[in-house]
Structure 1
Amino acid sequence: MMFSTSGTRGPRTRSHDEHTRPHARRRALLTAAASASLLAAACSSGSKGTQATPSLTGDCAQYQAYAGHSGTTVTMFASIISPESDSLQKSWAQFTHCTGIKISYEGSNDFESQLGVRVSGGNAPDLAVIPQPGLLAQMVKTHKVVKPPADTVSNENNWAPIWKQYATVNGTFYAAPMSANMKSLVWYSPKAFRTAGYQVPTTWSDLMSLSAKIATSGKGKPWCGGISSGTATGWPATDWLEEVVLGKYGGQVYDDWVSHKAKFSDPQIQDAMKTVQNWMLNPAWVNGGFGGVKTIATTTFQDAGKPILKGDCWMLQQASFYEAQWPTGTQVGPDGDVFAFYLPAAGSTQTPVEGGGEFVTAFSSRPEVQAVQNYLSTPQWAEARIKVARGWVSANEKVDKTLYTDPIDQLSAKYLTDPNSTFRFDASDLMPAAIGSGEEWKAMTAWFAQGWNTTQVAQDIDSAWPSS
């Protein structure tokens, strides 16, 4: 349901003549008082006396805790761009309508680099939606991040401990989780699979065998891919490596890799990189609809899967949030134009699941900023987003799960909440920002664009790792 945000206050009547006659002055004052009464009646329960905070009624009553800041603006900066950002802005439409707090949102492909520039330049947004815990830690070091208000801290009990851990720096909780996404998925066309007689693979061996079969069929390439994403170019390639490391070697090696106890040059990580090389840098298998291996570096991640709809490629490894990138009218479901299946483990790890998410971080403690921060940490906001967003899953455990009517959301929630899964957050998002959203992205891009070998990629990343 959409709500209008066009409500405006009535004009204030004031006398411009310092020498106006008493009865005219009195008439003007009465007119102003009447206007004020009408305004108060629109937003209050009609109780007598002047109130600093209006009492909201009807559909707006649920926003009472955030009232009292009408006419203010809160700026928000994030990496979420259209079309995904369209539903984000719809999700707080009623909040804005009822509270009068405007959220001025800006999304950018250059978010990771621009946030630091803005913060250091004294032009920080009121709120930033940070997708990397490593970047959050970097921002905390600037001493510009503001600790969340009490209500947001209280709401942290609505998330699993692992999510609170990712939003904590040096023992202090800083940022409420906004969303969760399932990365261990492969997008495909059920209709095309059915016509060709292909079965959805349930093991890594079956997946590789299917890829080889499609490659020799002469009917498109088995895989398509794209890692271009502005200054964040390279991040999808890090996901491919992370999936293999987790699936082949399990959570402990994955954790050691994140902390650099296991280096990129170590045998296990090198072996995982060679698995990715045989998969996504295989000229016989990629990049359907775009060209050869090198085109993966110049194809945007938003466009990467679209050749599936034309039969130019068959599969795309990408997260649940990719659902928002399909063209309008695309049917998503088990019998639709596109759907997704769980990416099988590349080794013996039990149900490996890689996920990601975002964290709402404040750079201001103004009351209206805290009101927005508190609201975004509630299950009520998450449910509002679910109602308007395909491919979006909340990290908040208090969310009514029956609201997930989208089949991809249901599939994602199944694995993200599976107690038997081996869940880990995106590794590059956990690594120091200089690596995870810096040198690793650059080196991984060079792997595809310039044909670097795995040893060269590893040496470049390892040598850039910060000493502390």
Structure 2
Amino acid sequence: MTGRSGVSRVALALVVALLAGVGLIGCGAAEPVGRVTVLGSWTGDEETTFRAVLARFEDETGIRAEYQGHRDVSQVLQAGIERQRPPDVAILPRLNDLQRYVNEDAVRQLDGVAGLIDDPAAGRQLIRLAARTGSDDAPTRVYAVAIATHLKSVFWYDRARAAAAGLRQPPRTWDELVDRARTVRDGGGMPWCLGLSSPPVSGWPGTDWIEDILLHRSGQRAYESWTRGELAWSSPQVRDAWRTWGQLLSATPSPEARRAGLFSTWAEAGAGLFDARGGCHLDHQASFAVREYRKPPRSAGDRVDFFPTPPIGSADTGGLQEVSDDIAAMLRDTGPARKLMAFLASESAQQVWRRASGGLFFSRRGPADSYPDQVTGRVAARLGTGTLCWDGSDLLPAPVATAFERATLVYLHQPERLDELLKELDGLAGTVSRTDWMDLRCHPAAE
């Protein structure tokens, strides 16, 4: 899931009102003692859970933590930076936003934060970047901490419905996955839970499909080259990923059923897993979907299960996993901000998060045996094994990521336009400065 830069007049007015309402601190203002301001994208149940984490921080340190949640966090943060009134700490859902702020010297490096850098267990959570300003001389430093991680290379299903359809074993290869989808269709069912609507950034569930297919069809090197802007959208590898997605969706009973996915949210589509009178059989969605599956009246904790994205073709890609992170960055270097950054990465904070979320919070740090059931424990275990590759659209420059999301919507409706869409994406990518592209490689989970 991605944020956006650039603020319209209406959005800017809203942002200014929000900033004024929560009293984010200006650089020239007197700094309150024992206070830290936090901006993030979490609202609703997620905000309630995060506030429980902040409450523990307040209890342990005596520092008051003031949180503001807003779904379009990128706009709010950009406006705060431009007005020289940033929060002390921001939770970012897009890594490329972090790269932009590093380039602009708007975030503070964390190499000297006590309790964070000297915690060996926090090592796999640290995000190291160099400012990309056209020179290769900038040192690589720690600029953020991954505090929540979502496993994306998975397919979810209802065990009871799968057994009733005679589908008792998860697919081990892509061909077996295709056969499973066709079996469901031939039996009169809907194979895929397809929902690409997610205002204000609809289309990202489609980008997850294509990224996952590219990773498991063409492998790590091709995937990394594409996220760096070095592998063209019109290349055989990327084009094949789109076509493979289209061929998989062809198992959907009708073009009208596929197009319905344009108007369904990912949560609405996933609810179809538990609709015994119809619904759908397989949901390609990140691990955060478990929160939706377990909400009343479904409460499907004892029924929902998952299997990893299988290798496609002869490539040995079974150990590769796409993930996305919510990352914490420090925009004002204060004592309270440093303490909060160290706390958010700590096992103490992770324990509170797991308990407050009912075991539905995942990170790179949490041991699998700390989760309440087999399914969530398996998600946590997979985050600790294999090779993890960041969500591709989270690494792409914002204009390219936005165009990618929109292209998946067009492709779902008009697959015959694929070559035209890829040409447009290549043209746009060519206009983006090299300093706006990231160079974050896949890495072993145990690092």
TM-score, normalised via structure 1 length? 0.75
**Change in CA separation of 1:362 and 1:280 when aligned onto 2, cut-off 3 Å:** farther
Query: Equivalent of 2:113, from 150, 171, 196?
Result: 150
Q: Given that residues 84 and 324 in structure 1 are in contact (C-alpha distance below 8 angstroms), is that contact kept between their aligned partners in structure 2?
A: no
The aligned residue for residue 328 of structure 1 is 296
Q: What is the rounded CA distance, in whole Å, between the counterparts of 1:316 and 1:83 in structure 2?
A: 22
Shift in Å at residue 331 of structure 1? 4.2
Whether 1:75 and 2:37 are equivalent positions in the alignment is yes
Q: What is the rounded CA distance, in whole Å, between the counterparts of 1:459 and 1:166 in structure 2?
A: 33
The aligned residue for residue 51 of structure 1 is none
Matches within 5 A, 1:266-345: 266-280=235-249, 283-284=252-253, 292-311=257-276, 312-326=279-293, 327-328=295-296, 330-333=298-301, 336-345=302-311
Q: What is the rounded CA distance, in whole Å, between the counterparts of 1:167 and 1:383 in structure 2?
A: 28
Whether 1:105 and 2:74 are equivalent positions in the alignment is no
Q: Which runs of 5+ in 2 are unaligned?
A: 1-30, 132-137, 435-447
**Change in CA separation of 1:140 and 1:452 when aligned onto 2, cut-off 3 Å:** farther
Q: Given that residues 165 and 184 in structure 2 are in contact (C-alpha distance below 8 angstroms), is that contact kept between their aligned partners in structure 1?
A: no
Specify the SS of the correspondent of 1:461: helix
Q: What is the rounded CA distance, in whole Å, between the counterparts of 2:414 and 2:34 in structure 1?
A: 49
Query: Equivalent of 2:324, from 329, 334, 356?
Result: 356
The aligned residue for residue 185 of structure 1 is 154
Shift in Å at residue 138 of structure 1? 0.9
The aligned residue for residue 443 of structure 2 is none
Q: Given that residues 113 and 338 in structure 2 are in contact (C-alpha distance below 8 angstroms), is that contact kept between their aligned partners in structure 1?
A: no
The aligned residue for residue 208 of structure 1 is 178
**Change in CA separation of 1:116 and 1:271 when aligned onto 2, cut-off 3 Å:** same
The aligned residue for residue 387 of structure 1 is 355
Q: Given that residues 195 and 268 in structure 2 are in contact (C-alpha distance below 8 angstroms), is that contact kept between their aligned partners in structure 1?
A: yes
Query: Equivalent of 1:369, from 311, 332, 337?
Result: 337
Matches within 5 A, 1:222-237: 222-237=191-206
**Change in CA separation of 1:93 and 1:100 when aligned onto 2, cut-off 3 Å:** same
Segments ≥4 residues shifted beyond 6 Å: none
The aligned residue for residue 21 of structure 1 is none
Q: What is the rounded CA distance, in whole Å, between the counterparts of 1:107 and 1:407 in structure 2?
A: 32
Q: Which runs of 5+ in 1 are unaligned?
A: 1-68
Shift in Å at residue 269 of structure 1? 0.8
What RMSD, in angstroms, separates the aligned Cα atoms of the two structures? Answer: 2.6
Whether 1:463 and 2:433 are equivalent positions in the alignment is no
Shift in Å at residue 285 of structure 1? 6.9
**Change in CA separation of 1:256 and 1:172 when aligned onto 2, cut-off 3 Å:** same
Aligned-pair identity (%): 23
Tell me the alpha carbon deviations over residues 323-349 of structure 1, each in whole angstroms, 9 at most, x when there is no partner.
11222354445xx23222222122323
Shift in Å at residue 82 of structure 1? 2.8
The aligned residue for residue 441 of structure 2 is none
Worse-superposed segment, 120-129 or 191-200: 120-129
Specify the SS of the correspondent of 2:360: coil
Specify the SS of the correspondent of 1:83: helix
Specify the SS of the correspondent of 2:427: helix
Whether 1:122 and 2:84 are equivalent positions in the alignment is yes
The aligned residue for residue 263 of structure 1 is 232
Q: What is the rounded CA distance, in whole Å, between the counterparts of 2:260 and 2:340 in structure 1?
A: 41
Tell me the alpha carbon deviations over residues 437-460 of structure 1, each in whole angstroms, 9 at most, x when there is no partner.
x22222223323565622122122
Specify the SS of the correspondent of 2:355: helix
2:216 alignment partner AA: G
Query: Equivalent of 1:85, from 42, 47, 64?
Result: 47
Q: Given that residues 174 and 361 in structure 1 are in contact (C-alpha distance below 8 angstroms), is that contact kept between their aligned partners in structure 2?
A: yes
Shift in Å at residue 114 of structure 1? 3.9
Specify the SS of the correspondent of 2:248: helix
**Change in CA separation of 1:228 and 1:277 when aligned onto 2, cut-off 3 Å:** same
Q: What is the rounded CA distance, in whole Å, between the counterparts of 1:116 and 1:102 in structure 2?
A: 24
Worse-superposed segment, 140-149 or 96-105: 96-105
Q: Given that residues 177 and 360 in structure 1 are in contact (C-alpha distance below 8 angstroms), is that contact kept between their aligned partners in structure 2?
A: yes
Q: What is the rounded CA distance, in whole Å, between the counterparts of 1:248 and 1:342 in structure 2?
A: 14
**Change in CA separation of 1:346 and 1:85 when aligned onto 2, cut-off 3 Å:** farther
Q: Given that residues 49 and 353 in structure 2 are in contact (C-alpha distance below 8 angstroms), is that contact kept between their aligned partners in structure 1?
A: yes
**Change in CA separation of 1:324 and 1:107 when aligned onto 2, cut-off 3 Å:** farther
Q: Given that residues 110 and 232 in structure 1 are in contact (C-alpha distance below 8 angstroms), is that contact kept between their aligned partners in structure 2?
A: no
Q: Given that residues 92 and 328 in structure 2 are in contact (C-alpha distance below 8 angstroms), is that contact kept between their aligned partners in structure 1?
A: yes
Q: Which has the larger radius of gyration?
A: 1
Whether 1:407 and 2:378 are equivalent positions in the alignment is no
Q: What is the rounded CA distance, in whole Å, between the counterparts of 1:374 and 1:402 in structure 2?
A: 24
Q: What is the rounded CA distance, in whole Å, between the counterparts of 1:264 and 1:205 in structure 2?
A: 25
Q: Given that residues 94 and 394 in structure 2 are in contact (C-alpha distance below 8 angstroms), is that contact kept between their aligned partners in structure 1?
A: yes
Tell me the alpha carbon deviations over residues 55-112 of structure 1, each in whole angstroms, 9 at most, x when there is no partner.
xxxxxxxxxxxxxx99854332223333333322223323224444333333333234
Matches within 5 A, 1:420-439: 421-436=386-401, 438-439=402-403
**Change in CA separation of 1:285 and 1:74 when aligned onto 2, cut-off 3 Å:** farther
